[in-house]
Amino acid sequence: MSAKSKVLEILSSWGFPVIEESESSVVLRFQMNYVSIGSMRDDSNFVSVTLSGIFHADNDEETFLALRGANDLAYRQMIVKAYLDSDLDLVIAVEFFYPEEEHLEGLLEMALKAVVHGKKTFLDTYRSLEAQQKLLREAEEE
Amino acid sequence: MNKELTLQNLRTLGFRPVPTDSDEDLYEFEFEGLDVLMPVNPDDNCVTFLLSRVYDVNDDNRVETMEILLKLISSLKYVQASLFQDTVVLTYTHYLGDSETTPELIEHMLNLLSVAFVRLYSYINGTDDNEC
């Protein structure tokens, strides 16, 4: 069975509707977040789970703080990676291989939970960095 | 409340509610690290979500916590905060009347509970900056 067919079967067993579907990816809601499961090809046991639409950097300072937040997330949380894409939107991703089909459901659930946890961690870190930056700016002004 | 419809709406939003006992009158699901409970009584025409045991209370922090709860409920619409068996419980009950739950209603309720949780801890930690 292809990775996508197996993923669709798992989502159906969880009762999760698919919102969008393309040849190699699907979009669904997980704990109210819009999550994409992609990179699914017939000839590989590879799946990527990505969460975006969380944060967009509007200027150089926000870009700098977001990169620090993404770095902090990559350092603290195993499996998860975070980056700013070419439009300066934050992407949180977990990519994994599954050796056998029976491993996919558990790995998929772990990946979905991990990107959602990564979102929370990133936003907490970003707020903290933003507060530090504000204090530094106030100190410099004095 | 139509139990099956509400469970289906929760799954539409990406939750996996499971009954906490064989009576199936209380369901539990995870929401971004929070354990949300949903009591189910088909005779009730309301829907309730609650976060239980969000903060432990003892004789040393009871008065301070009650002051914080008063501050919390006065600053937030819809969500109630109370003490139950020495822990803080956050509850949001919505009267349905003749209507039924929708994904949008559930999303609103859970977002407000999440905001209440964050704000509660910002008051407890003294980091309140009116942002949640």
Work out the minimum CA distance from A138 to partner chain B, whole angstroms: 17
Residue with tokens 């801890």: B121
Cα distance between residue B70 and residue B14, in whole Å: 33
Burial A101-130 (b: 16+ CB within 10 A, else e): eeebbebbeebbbbbbbbbebbeebbeebe
Question: Residues A27, A34: contact at Cβ < 8 Å?
Answer: yes
Give the residue from chain B lying closest to A11, CA to CA: B14
Question: Residues B94, B47: contact at Cβ < 8 Å?
Answer: yes
Half-sphere exposure of A113 (CA within 13 A, CB side): 14
Work out the minimum CA distance from B71 to partner chain A, whole angstroms: 23
A28 contacts in chain B (CB < 8 Å): 14
**CB-CB under 8 Å, A33 with B12:** no
Q: Is B106 exposed, middle or buried (0-12, 13-18, 19+ CB in 10 A)?
A: buried
**Per-residue model confidence as pLDDT tens digits over A9-68:** 999 999 999 999 998 899 999 999 999 998 777 777 899 999 999 999 999 999 999 999
| Both structure tokens of A110 | 């772990």
**Per-residue model confidence as pLDDT tens digits over A66-101:** 999 999 999 988 899 999 999 999 999 999 999 998
ipTM summary value = 0.86
**Residue A54 DSSP SS3:** coil
Amino acid at A29: R
Residue with tokens 């195993």: A78
